[in-house]
Amino acid sequence: MIMVLLRSVAISILLSFGLMIGNAAFGAPAKSSTQTGHLPAFIDSAFAVKYALQYQQYDKITPHIHPTKGVRFSLYAYVNPDKDKVFSQAEFDKYLNQSKIQFTWGEKDGTGDLYIVSLPTYLANWVVRDTRFEKVGVNEFYGTGNSLNNLADVYPEHEFVEFYSAGSETCAGMDWRCMRLVFETYQGRPYLVAIITDEWTI
């Protein structure tokens, strides 16, 4: 157990360093995740999804979505199996091309207002928001706030990668954000089952 934890920490440090290099290199994807050849496959998948989101190449996410369970979207750290939106591969592709169709993604913290937008708008304006993530956590959390984090309860046997931004000094770090990509192995390869976003909440 200790060796597994230490390995996860070591991988997180390596990937965070690689991510910083990638962010600095004219916005190009970091190469560390694939060039080592020794990292778990779900990490390569996580970086592929991350860059597809960053560069708004959303159609490239589809092959990574779980073929039978689809992908769940959680507005904050708390995963709500009864209310969170879940899209199959076919539905994800369909609604990427129908920007006039809007969905209710949940209630915004602080105001309680319903967040109702199309799938492309949700991905661009909520999931990523042009954030430059500077840390990567492999099966560990950097972002912690007031919102209940039940990822381990809902996905107890799953692997996940957290992309984390610490926020700005101007806001004393209260503008931190993170994106957690959760994977499940199916027929020998990892598939995306959840995209969970988290941030400072009241």
Q: Total domain count for the chain?
A: 1
Q: pLDDT band at 129, cuts 50/70/90?
A: confident
Q: What is the CATH number of the domain that holds 141?
A: 3.10.450
pLDDT value for 142: 94
pLDDT value for 32: 35
Please report, as a single letter, which amino acid is at residue 8.
S
**Looking at the DSSP assignment, which residues form a beta bridge with residue 161?**
138, 181
State how far the Cα of 163 lies from the Cα of 150, in Å rounded to an integer: 17
pLDDT per residue as tens digits for the range 6-36: 555 555 555 554 454 344 332 333 333 333 4
Q: Is 164 helix (H, G, I), strand (E, B) or coil?
A: strand
Which range of residues forms the domain containing residue 139?
2-199
State how far the Cα of 84 lies from the Cα of 68, in Å rounded to an integer: 17
